[in-house]
Structures are given as structure tokens and as C-alpha cells.
């Protein structure tokens, strides 16, 4: 392709992009393909001869586009926004055309200096302390563009590790240890809500990481950090790095920097990093700056313009208060990279892991100039307002609940019910390809994340998404699978409750100390109940004329002492007003008794305060199962019996 053909194809590509973005709403949000779909569609080897551009573009539409998840789609509500705008696209086009590799000032002075300037621009707009700005008088700080927030956290952790090891080497207690042994003493900290990259960065850095529990609003608190640090220092560990988050991935919560910061300052050498990959961009709005309260305690801060500032990936901005601590940990200076201005100019190769660097500041410069701060503020406010609109829709529907504090463009919600129900709901919605969302676990519950992501999101998009969600929930609740699931849940709950009560029955009989008090029932007329021998093994005394109260397990009473006994027994349950009349049966034996009778107690056994029959635990359990299967009892009566703890019988000789 020569320049003349490029002129033609370039115009065609711009037209294709415009057509694609104008009609993206007509496409399916997520692809309807499986793993490996593309392999059979393409040759096994690269072509030996040039192919026509028309054929290449046909394959883009027929083979590539069917496998694309459309992050710029108005129905895409997963993860966080993937920044995009026309000025950013044009900036990347020009950067690719320039094609410089800006690892040092000498490699391309404009590439380095524009990066420094736009980072200062952005830092001022956010409201960062002046210590983070490069061009502030006597400042040792500055900003740099990294590939991702993961890289930002990693380079800061490496810098903190280098500072901690140098400090330990100066201590007389550790001079005899090499760096490998010292690494084993270092301890980093983060919240359970921190991004997974913190854990991966600790693995790369060969340091220990303690993951702390946030509060009920997913916020890491200062007291939690303090207790962890004190416990670790008592064990001989050296705290050196704390990673906090403003705008967590799961639910967009904000760690309490005003509490955490002073604690970090009490311990020499702790590096406090603030990861605000998503939310940090919103701090350009004056009304949202309160969310970064306590930022003055931080040693480093990062945010991704490629998330929430209309700039294409990759463009993650990192600021540090002391750039020399960062560069001293990463500097490698071979002769072929040295230049005459190294002492006065910034070389960003010392600020990051990779040596080679693209001209990423160009697209951010384009975006900031073309939109202006006011235009970027309007974009952020629109997302926040639409999130509030979606929150209001959720709160109006009694079938759903909100699971986070909705501050920016993320709403966490769930259908009231089990995690399994919400998993099924999200899976059904995503399989439809109409909208796309992802889950998160908030306060140990499965929730669905609704993120405003499209650059030009509107109220109409929110209303359509909510309509789709509610329609699928209605279908799901009517489906047999969900009804069966709900029935299973009720049955499991009933069985668990029954097992607990059965266990209490057994303990109640074997341990009279926990028997509840007695409740009297009206005197029963009719045949007398000979019970004295059964209760105490003392024998019958028919002339006592006294009233006695006893507590027996239900199963014992369900079986008559004699297969021919036709006595009726009136029972009254504690806390219930229902009278239940049981009829003894001579229908033969039941499990645990060969003659249909309750097991006879030993004549020599001592009574339990003269109240409880001398029955073994195993026989009680067997007879209680018989009671549960009593065919002559109504279902409601059985449930009432299950809920009772004891039966009280009034008898008169």
C-alpha cells in the first residue's frame, strides 16, 4: 500500500468507523460464538502473496465482528467504561503515524515533555496537592502515563520495597541479613475490596500481603489497619506498603483515607498508595472532590483516563510525591541509552517497567483541549445522573434491592431471593445478548453490577435496560425451575429446623435442668392414666388423690403401653392454644418397639427429678420419626407438634 492508496483506504476506514459507531446499537452486545470459533474460518498459515484490501475488509465484517463484545454499545453495562471519543481516536492515529518510541527525552523530546505537561494539567484539575505536580516550585513529584492501574501499583510497590530494604540494612538488627531474608519480613496491606492486581503485584514483588476486611459498606477503616499493623510488628514483620482504593471495582466504595493516613504516618517508611482507577477522573467535578478527603497523606495516586475520561486504552496516569524514590528503584542505565541531558530532563524509562513507550499523551492532550474541563465534567455528571435514575427504578420495584451507595456511575442490585436466583437471572440476560452486565460479591452476597459505560448514554438506554431486566425476572419467577428451587429452599429450611428441635427434645429428656416450665390443662374426665411406675419405677399409688405434672417427649406418648389400650389422651402444647386429641392404636408394632408400646423403663433406674421417663436417646429418635409419619394427624397439627418443645399432661387418680 503506497501513500495514494492509503489516502483512499484511510478515508474508507474513517467512513467504516463512522458507520460502525452510528449503528452499533443494532448489533448484538455480546457475541454468540464459542471458544475456538475463529480458527476454522482462517487459514492455518499467513498468505505468501499480497491480498486485496477489499478482501481483508470483507473478512473483518464476516469473521471478526461476529466475535466482538461491543464495549461502546449503549446496552453494555459491564465492568467500567472503556473510554472512547473521536479526538482520542484521532490522537492515536497521529501517534501511530509519528511512530516514536519515547523511552527518554533524547528519543523524542516532545513525547516526554507533553506527557509531563498534561499530567500536571490533569493533576490540577483533579485537585491533587501541589507536591504531586512536577512544575510546582521545589517539588520532587510529578506524573507519568502507565499502561494500566496494575502497572501503577506495581512500580509503587517496588519503590516502597526498595526504600524499606535500604532502611533495614541501615539497622544494626538486620545488617547480617541479605536481601532475600529481608524480603520475608516485609508486609503489605490492602482491603478485600481492592483490585486483584494488588495481590498479583505482591506475588511479583515477593512480599507478603495481608488482606483486610472492610466494614459493612465495603470501606477499609483506620482501626482495622492499625490492629493489623500492631499484630504484625509484634510478630517481627515490617509494614512497608498500604494500597487503598477510591472507587472499588465491586461496588465503588471509598476507603477512609482520613483514618488510614495518620496511622501510616505513625510508622516510618510506610508508603501509602491510592488507587482511583475509575473514580479519580470524577474528581474534576467540584461537587465530587469530597470523595478524595485525606489525599494529602498519600505518597502516590493513580487514575485511568481510559475508564472515565473519554480517552482510549491505554492511558493510566500516576503521580508520586517523590519521583526520586520511584526512579532509584527502577533505574538501569546502559551506555546506549545515556544522553547529554540526562541530569536536567526526565527519562520516563526509569518510571515504569517497559523501556519502550508510545506517544500516549497526544490523545489525552487532544481530548482535554477538544472537550475542555467543562465538557468532561458534563460527561461525568451525565453518567452520575443516569445511575441515580436506574437506582430509583430499582427502589420502586419491591422485587429488587440496592446493594451499594450509588455515588458515581455504578449501581449494584439484586433480585430479592437466593444467590442462585440472581445467578440464573444474570446468565439469562447475558445469554440474550440484549444487554451485558457482570456480577460482584458485596457483603458476601451475589450482586449484579449495572455500570454506565457508553460515551453518549441516555435516559432511554437506562429505561430499556431496566425493561429487559424486569421482563426476564418475571419470566424466571414463573418458570418451573425457580418454583422448584423455592420449594427446595423451604424444604431444606423445614428439615433443618426439625432436626434442631428433635435434638432439643432428646436433650430436654436427658437433662431435666433445661426442661421448660409447665402449663396446666383442664382436668380430663374419663379413664385414669396409670403413670407412676412409668415415671419413677416406684409402683402405682391409686389412693394418693394428688395432681402431678410431667414432661414427656411426644414420641413416647404416641405409642400406647398396651396394644389393646383404647384410652384417649388430651394434650396441650406450650405457646399454642390448640388442643390435640391422640388415639392410641393397636395396629401392631412400629420401629423401635415390637409390641406397639413405648419402651418400658428399668425398675431400678432413678427418676430425673420424678419427671422424665427413663428412655434412651436412640429410642427417642426412632419414635420421633414414627411421630412425624403419623397418618392420622392433619398436616397442620403435625407442624404444631414439631414446633412444641414438650407436652404437659394432667392426670388424676
Q: Residues 345-369: pLDDT tens digits? A: 888 888 999 888 999 999 999 999 9
Check: CB of residue 643 under 8 Å from CB of residue 518. Answer: no
Check: CB of residue 6 under 8 Å from CB of residue 12. Answer: no
Q: Residues 113-140: pLDDT tens digits? A: 999 999 999 999 999 999 999 998 888 9
Mean pLDDT over 393-408 rounds to 95
DSSP string covering 219-286: ---HHHHHHHHHHHHHTT-EEEEEEEEBS-TTT--B--HHHHHHHHHHSTT-EEEEE-TTGGGGGGSG
pLDDT at 174 over 80: no
Check: CB of residue 146 under 8 Å from CB of residue 330. Answer: no
Any idea which of 5-9, 505-509, 603-607 has the lowest mean pLDDT? 603-607
Between β-strands 186-191 and 208-212, what pairing exists: parallel, antiparallel or unpaired? parallel
Predicted local confidence at residue 563, as pLDDT: 44
pLDDT band at 106 (very low <50, low <70, confident <90, very high): confident
Overall fold of domain 95-372: 3.40.640
Question: Can you point out the beta strands (E) in 276-352?
Answer: 300-304, 316-320
Mean pLDDT over 578-592 rounds to 43
Q: pTM of this prediction?
A: 0.73
Domain boundaries, the chain: 95-372
Q: What is the dihedral of CA 493, 496, 498, 504, to 10 degrees?
A: -140
Query: What are φ and ψ of residue 251, in 5° steps?
Result: -140, 10
Please give the grid coordinates belonging to residue 594: 415390637
Mean pLDDT, the chain, integer: 81
Mean pLDDT over 206-223 rounds to 94
pLDDT band at 482 (very low <50, low <70, confident <90, very high): low
Q: Residues 438-479: pLDDT tens digits? A: 999 998 899 999 999 999 999 999 999 999 999 999 998 887
Predicted local confidence at residue 610, as pLDDT: 39
pLDDT at 249 over 50: yes
Predicted local confidence at residue 499, as pLDDT: 65
Q: Residues 483-519: pLDDT tens digits? A: 666 667 777 777 777 666 655 544 444 444 444 443 3
Q: Residues 279-336: pLDDT tens digits? A: 999 999 999 999 999 999 999 999 999 999 999 999 999 999 999 999 988 888 888 8
Predicted local confidence at residue 504, as pLDDT: 53
pLDDT band at 177 (very low <50, low <70, confident <90, very high): confident
Question: Using CA atoms, how far apart are residues 653 and 646, in angstroms rounded to an integer?
Answer: 22
* Residue owning grid cell 523530546: 109
Question: Using CA atoms, how far apart are residues 494 and 557, in angstroms rounded to an integer?
Answer: 23
Mean pLDDT over 384-400 rounds to 96
Question: Using CA atoms, how far apart are residues 179 and 304, in angstroms rounded to an integer?
Answer: 34
Based on the number of CB atoms within 10 Å of its own CB, is 308 exposed (0-12), middle (13-18) or buried (19 or more)? Answer: buried
Question: Using CA atoms, how far apart are residues 265 and 243, in angstroms rounded to an integer?
Answer: 14
Smallest Cα–Cα separation from 364: which of 157, 121, 547? 121
* Residue owning grid cell 379413664: 527
Mean pLDDT over 156-184 rounds to 88
Strand partners, 113: none
Give, for 481, the enclosing helix (H) or strand (E): helix 480-510
Predicted local confidence at residue 463, as pLDDT: 96
Amino acid at each position: 500500500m503506497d501513500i495514494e492508496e492509503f489516502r483512499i483506504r484511510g478515508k474508507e476506514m474513517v467512513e467504516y468507523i463512522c458507520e460502525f459507531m452510528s449503528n452499533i446499537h443494532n448489533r448484538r452486545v455480546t457475541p454468540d460464538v464459542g471458544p475456538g470459533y475463529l480458527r476454522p474460518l482462517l487459514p492455518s498459515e499467513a498468505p505468501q502473496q499480497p491480498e486485496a484490501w477489499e478482501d481483508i475488509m470483507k473478512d473483518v465484517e464476516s469473521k471478526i465482528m461476529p466475535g466482538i463484545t461491543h464495549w461502546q454499545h449503549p446496552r453494555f453495562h459491564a465492568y467500567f467504561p472503556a473510554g472512547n471519543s473521536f479526538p482520542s481516536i484521532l490522537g492515536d492515529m497521529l501517534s501511530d503515524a509519528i511512530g516514536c518510541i519515547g523511552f527518554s527525552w533524547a528519543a523524542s523530546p516532545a513525547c516526554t515533555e507533553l506527557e509531563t505537561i498534561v499530567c500536571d494539567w490533569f493533576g490540577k484539575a483533579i485537585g491533587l496537592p501541589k507536591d504531586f505536580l512536577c512544575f510546582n516550585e521545589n517539588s520532587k513529584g510529578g506524573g507519568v502515563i502507565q499502561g494500566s492501574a496494575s502497572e501503577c501499583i506495581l512500580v509503587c510497590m517496588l519503590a516502597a520495597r526498595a526504600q524499606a530494604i535500604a532502611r533495614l540494612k541501615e539497622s544494626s538488627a538486620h545488617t547480617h541479613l541479605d536481601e532475600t531474608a529481608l524480603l520475608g519480613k516485609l508486609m503489605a496491606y490492602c482491603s478485600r475490596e481492592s483490585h486483584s492486581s494488588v495481590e498479583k503485584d505482591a506475588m511479583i514483588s515477593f512480599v507478603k500481603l495481608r488482606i483486610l476486611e472492610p466494614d459493612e459498606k465495603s470501606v477499609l477503616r483506620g482501626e482495622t489497619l492499625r490492629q493489623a499493623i500492631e499484630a504484625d510488628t509484634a510478630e517481627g514483620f515490617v509494614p512497608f506498603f498500604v494500597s487503598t482504593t477510591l472507587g472499588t471495582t465491586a461496588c465503588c466504595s471509598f476507603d477512609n483515607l482520613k483514618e488510614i493516613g495518620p496511622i501510616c504516618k505513625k510508622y516510618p517508611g510506610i508508603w501509602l498508595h491510592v488507587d482511583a482507577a475509575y473514580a479519580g477522573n470524577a474528581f474534576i467535578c467540584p461537587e465530587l472532590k469530597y470523595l478524595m478527603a485525606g489525599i494529602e497523606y498519600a505518597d502516590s495516586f493513580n487514575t485511568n483516563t481510559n475508564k472515565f475520561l473519554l480517552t482510549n486504552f491505554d492511558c493510566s496516569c500516576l503521580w508520586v510525591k517523590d519521583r526520586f524514590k520511584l526512579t532509584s528503584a527502577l533505574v538501569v542505565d546502559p551506555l546506549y541509552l545515556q544522553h547529554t541531558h540526562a541530569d536536567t530532563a526526565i527519562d520516563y524509562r526509569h518510571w515504569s517497567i517497559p523501556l519502550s513507550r508510545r506517544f500516549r499523551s497526544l490523545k489525552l492532550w487532544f481530548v482535554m483541549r477538544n472537550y475542555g474541563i467543562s465538557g468532561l465534567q458534563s460527561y461525568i455528571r451525565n453518567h452520575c445522573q443516569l445511575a441515580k435514575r436506574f437506582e430509583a427504578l430499582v427502589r420502586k420495584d419491591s422485587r429488587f434491592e440496592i446493594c451499594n451507595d450509588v455515588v458515581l456511575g455504578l449501581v449494584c442490585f439484586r433480585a430479592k431471593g437466593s444467590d442462585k436466583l440472581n445467578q440464573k437471572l444474570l446468565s439469562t440476560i447475558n445469554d440474550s445478548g440484549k444487554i451485558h452486565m457482570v456480577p460482584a460479591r458485596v457483603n458476601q452476597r451475589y450482586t449484579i453490577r449495572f455500570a454506565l459505560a457508553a460515551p453518549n448514554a441516555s435516559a432511554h438506554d437506562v429505561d430499556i435496560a431496566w425493561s429487559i431486566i424486569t421482563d426476564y425476572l418475571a419470566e424466571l419467577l414463573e418458570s418451573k425451575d425457580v418454583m422448584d428451587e423455592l420449594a427446595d429452599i423451604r424444604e431444606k429450611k423445614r428439615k433443618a429446623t426439625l432436626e434442631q428441635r428433635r435434638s432439643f427434645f432428646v436433650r430436654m429428656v436427658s437433662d431435666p435442668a433445661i426442661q421448660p416450665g409447665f402449663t396446666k390443662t383442664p382436668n380430663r374426665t374419663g379413664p385414669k392414666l396409670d403413670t407412676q411406675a412409668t415415671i419413677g419405677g416406684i409402683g402405682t399409688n391409686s389412693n394418693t388423690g394428688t395432681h402431678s405434672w410431667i414432661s414427656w417427649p411426644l414420641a413416647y406418648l404416641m405409642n400406647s403401653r398396651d396394644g389393646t389400650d383404647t384410652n384417649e389422651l388430651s394434650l396441650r402444647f406450650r405457646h399454642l392454644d390448640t388442643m390435640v386429641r391422640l388415639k392410641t392404636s393397636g395396629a401392631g408394632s412400629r420401629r423401635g418397639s415390637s409390641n406397639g408400646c413405648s419402651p418400658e423403663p428399668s425398675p431400678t433406674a432413678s427418676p430425673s427429678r420424678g419427671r422424665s421417663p427413663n428412655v434412651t436417646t436412640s429410642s427417642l429418635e426412632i419414635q420421633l420419626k414414627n411421630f412425624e409419619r403419623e397418618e392420622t394427624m392433619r398436616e397442620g397439627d403435625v407442624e404444631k407438634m414439631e414446633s412444641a418443645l414438650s407436652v404437659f399432661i394432667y392426670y388424676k387418680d
